[in-house]
């Protein structure tokens, strides 16, 4: 099953840093996402894109996770030659992740 | 002191739609309307316009927005706070006065300056480095330097009775926090209240992004009437709690999902969301759906404001040359790949860094996460950096020349050259920055 089936996400950027929220539609799935979608798993999944560290923040009050990915935007809006310099479409790259 | 105020957000970026702001001003029963129109690079571009014409450098849509909104703002006694001043708040204020005079409207406008720190940076740039690469600022071809001001000068302008407050660079949530401080008499060293107000400001600052814009997917996240998407307002209470809502009859949706996505948007560390007013903690926020298109915001907290201001430095980075051409039908991808091989050989002697994308295959994520069958059509995109516009033009010229000098059946070639303004960030001592409020009256 893809994350897309059970969760939604929005990407944000600051310089060369990418932030990806991960929000289960059903808050009951939050604990499962905490167990399954580790920072390392996100780092591996986005290995073509994220060159630096991935830090995961847990927000139990709103049953959501936030992944902050460093060195992830080809130098950032400034130096990137990519079409999507902000990495705005990368929320859907995260949601492509297969989980059991 | 009031116990409740209503603040609307009618723009989340410089190019935002004007109609939702008009709906808010006309029917939103607002005390305040905020228009947030200044992304990181917007002010560098505005500075360039100011250098060419000293009476310009404010938001290009200012005249259109103010002309449309002013009669509603005056009629409904709604005050406007906006960073549309960009690189030139003084000239923006004069423009607003001219528009008001033309409509025979009496109005008090406050321009807030002091965010422009180019001279401070230039005086000491060899000793200042940027935050991300730790490179001395003297190595950048700087065109603008603006500190993110906090709520304080806006609060002063409100106290002085200004109905329109026009600023340059101000931290986005501070545009919203200022009227809360002014109306509720919040002490600015009550950091929990500063944190709560900052949370609400952050939820509102991207306008349509909390009402279903940048959210809908047509499959799992169904949003009705996106064509008439409404922008949000918040009923903010003196204890710092708030209810996010929108004007009845507008399109879009406000629910737990849209609020959560926006709360976490562009957040580097949810425990420490840094503004000039406070270091806010977003992990203590609670969100609750209390009705149709109504989300209640509570919790939220904060710690003492940081010692420095953050400044954003705009610099001339490079010229971007781009070219695109499409291939369709049998062997479309193979022909696009053949074209890529040819173009790479032709451009390599002239450019150190060339990017080639196959649009429709892997242009956005560098890879494909799903196994898909061969695409029917593929668009080749070639991009490279150059020091001059002339040199950058070669990229598009070579792509266009693939018509008669490349694979079969290429079509729809386009070429572009754009100057890229880069952004670096640095920290500046608070003592070096003196925000100023200047009042203009029609």
Q: Domain residues of chain A, as ranges?
A: 3-94
The 10s digit of each residue's pLDDT in B176-234 is 999 999 999 999 999 999 999 999 999 999 999 999 999 999 999 999 999 999 999 99
Q: Is the ipTM of this complex over 0.85?
A: yes
pLDDT grade, residue B135 (50/70/90)?
confident
Q: Does residue B126 surpass a pLDDT of 70?
A: no
Say yes or no for a CB contact (<8 Å) between A84 and B299.
no
By the 8 A CB rule, do A57 and B270 touch?
yes
B49: burial class by Cβ within 10 Å (0-12, 13-18, 19+)? middle
CB distance from A26 to chain B under 8 Å?
A: no
| Domain topology for B313-425 | Alpha-Beta Plaits (3.30.70)
For A23, phi and psi rounded to 5 degrees? -130, 115
Option in A23, A61, A79 nearest B299 (CB): A61
Selected residue with higher pLDDT from B128 and B379: B379
Q: Would the CB atoms of A76 and B40 count as touching at under 8 Å?
A: no
* Nearest-by-Cβ selection for B364 from A10, A62, A89: A89
Q: How far apart are CA B30 and CA B28, in angstroms?
A: 5
For the domain made up of A3-94, the CATH class stated in words is: alpha beta
- A42 contacts chain B (CB < 8 A): no
Mean pLDDT of chain A: 94
Nearest-10 Cα torsion for A28, A29, A35, A37: -150
Asked if B317 lies within 8 A of A96 by C-beta distance, the reply is no
Summarize the confidence of residues B151-165 as an average pLDDT: 98
Predicted confidence (pLDDT) per residue in B226-248, tens digit: 999 999 999 999 999 999 999 99
SS3 content of chain A, % helix, strand, coil (to 5): 30, 30, 40
Q: pLDDT-based confidence at B359, cuts 50/70/90?
A: very high
Please report residues of B whose CB lies closer than 8 A to that of A62: 256, 260, 263, 285-287
Crossing angle of helices B89-102 and B62-75, rounded to 10°: 60
**Residue A21 contacts B where some CB pair is shorter than 8 Å:** yes
CB distance B148 to B311 below 8 Å:
yes
B304: Cβ–Cβ under 8 A, 6 or more apart, which residues? B189, B191, B278, B279
What share of chain B in percent tops pLDDT 70? 100
**Chain B: residue nearest A21 by CA?**
B264
- The distance of A60 to chain B (nearest Cα, Å) reads 8
**pLDDT > 80? residue B310:** yes
Confidence of residue B374 (pLDDT cuts 50, 70, 90): confident
Instruction: Encode pLDDT of B26-71 as tens digits.
Output: 999 999 999 999 988 889 889 989 999 999 999 999 999 999 999 9
pLDDT of residue A66: 98
Closest-CA residue of chain A to B353:
A81
User: What's residue A77's pLDDT?
Assistant: 66
Q: Which residue of A has its CA nearest to B298?
A: A61
CB B365 within 8 Å of CB B300: no
Q: How confident is the model at residue A79 (pLDDT cuts 50, 70, 90)?
A: confident
Residues of B in Cβ contact (< 8 Å) with A84 = 364
Q: Residue B73: pLDDT above 70?
A: yes
Alpha helices (H) along B211-331: 256-263
What whole-number distance in Å separates Cα of residue B273 and Cα of residue B258?
19
Give the Cβ contact number of residue B16 at 10 Å. Answer: 22
**How confident is the prediction for chain B on average, in pLDDT?**
95
> Which of B420, B439, B421, B425 has the alpha carbon at shortest distance from B143?
B421
Residue B125 — pLDDT band, cuts 50, 70, 90?
low
Q: What are phi and psi of B135, to 5 degrees?
A: -100, 140
- Between A55 and B365, name the one with better pLDDT: A55
Calpha distance B15→B29 (Å, rounded): 25
Q: What does the pLDDT read at residue A75?
A: 74
pLDDT at B371 over 80: no
Query: What's the whole-number mean pLDDT along residues B270-275?
Result: 98
Cβ of B427: how many Cβ atoms within 10 Å? 16
Q: pLDDT (tens digit, 9 = 90+) per residue, B394-406? A: 999 999 999 999 9
Determine the Cα–Cα distance for residues B72 and B79; give it in Å rounded to an integer: 10
* Domain edges within chain B: 4-114+149-306, 313-425
Q: Which of B349-353, B371-375, B412-416 has the lowest mean pLDDT?
A: B371-375
Test A21 with B320 for CB contact under 8 angstroms: no
| Distance in angstroms (rounded) separating the CA atoms of residues B290 and A3 | 28
> How far B410 CA lies from chain A's nearest CA (Å)?
21
**What are the two backbone dihedrals, phi and then psi, of residue B301, each rounded to the nearest 5 degrees?**
-155, -175
| Reported confidence tier of residue B107, pLDDT bands at 50, 70, 90 | very high
Nearest CA-CA partner of B397 in B339, B338, B323, B335: B323
């Amino acid at each position: 099953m893809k994350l897309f089936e059970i969760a939604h996400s929005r990407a944000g950027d600051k310089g060369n840093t990418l932030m990806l929220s991960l929000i289960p539609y059903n808050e009951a799935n939050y604990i499962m996402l905490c167990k399954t979608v580790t920072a390392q798993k996100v780092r591996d999944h986005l290995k073509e894109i994220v060159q630096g560290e991935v830090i995961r923040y847990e927000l139990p009050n709103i049953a959501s996770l936030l992944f902050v990915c460093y060195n992830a935007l080809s130098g950032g809006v400034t130096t990137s030659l990519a079409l999507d310099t902000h990495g705005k479409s990368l929320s859907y790259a995260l949601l492509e992740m297969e989980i059991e | 002191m009031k116990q409740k105020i209503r603040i609307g957000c009618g723009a989340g970026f410089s190019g935002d739609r004007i109609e939702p702001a008009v709906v808010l001003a006309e029917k939103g029963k607002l005390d305040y309307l905020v228009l947030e129109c200044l992304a990181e690079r917007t002010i560098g571009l505005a500075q360039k316009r100011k250098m060419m014409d000293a009476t310009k450098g404010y938001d290009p849509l200012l005249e259109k927005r103010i002309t449309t909104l002013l009669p509603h703002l005056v009629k409904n006694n709604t005050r406007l706070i906006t960073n549309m001043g960009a690189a030139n708040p003084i000239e923006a204020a004069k423009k607003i006065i001219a528009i008001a005079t033309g409509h025979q409207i009496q109005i008090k406008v406050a321009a807030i300056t002091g965010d422009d720190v180019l001279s401070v940076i230039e005086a000491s740039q060899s000793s200042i480095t940027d935050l991300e690469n730790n490179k001395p600022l003297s190595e950048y071809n700087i065109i603008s330097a603006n500190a993110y001001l906090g709520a304080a000068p806006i609060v002063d302008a409100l106290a002085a009775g200004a109905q329109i407050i026009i600023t340059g660079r101000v931290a986005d949530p501070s545009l919203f926090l200022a009227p809360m401080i002014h109306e509720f008499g919040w002490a600015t060293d009550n950091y929990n209240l500063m944190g709560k107000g900052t949370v609400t400001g952050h939820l509102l600052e991207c306008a349509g992004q909390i009402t279903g814009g940048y959210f809908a997917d047509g499959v799992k996240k169904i949003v009705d009437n996106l064509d008439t998407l409404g922008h949000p307002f918040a009923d903010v209470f003196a204890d710092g709690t708030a209810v996010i809502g929108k004007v009845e009859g507008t399109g879009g949706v406000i629910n737990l999902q849209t609020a959560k996505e926006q709360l976490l948007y562009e957040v580097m560390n949810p425990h420490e969301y840094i503004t000039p007013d406070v270091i806010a903690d977003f992990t203590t926020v609670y969100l609750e759906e209390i009705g149709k298109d109504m989300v209640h915001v509570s919790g939220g907290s904060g710690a003492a404001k940081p010692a420095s201001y953050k400044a954003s430095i705009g610099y001339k980075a490079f010229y971007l040359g781009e070219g695109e051409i499409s291939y369709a039908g049998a062997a479309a991808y193979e022909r696009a790949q053949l074209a890529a091989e040819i173009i790479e050989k032709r451009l390599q002697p002239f450019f150190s860094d060339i990017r080639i994308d196959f649009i429709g295959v892997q242009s956005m994520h560098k890879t494909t996460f799903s196994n898909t069958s061969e695409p029917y059509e593929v668009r080749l995109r070639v991009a490279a950096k150059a020091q001059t516009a002339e040199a950058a033009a070669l990229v598009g010229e070579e792509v266009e020349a693939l018509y008669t000098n490349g694979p079969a059946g290429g079509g729809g070639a386009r070429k572009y050259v754009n100057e890229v303004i880069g952004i670096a960030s640095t920290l500046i001592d608070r003592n070096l920055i003196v925000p100023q409020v200047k009042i203009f009256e029609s």
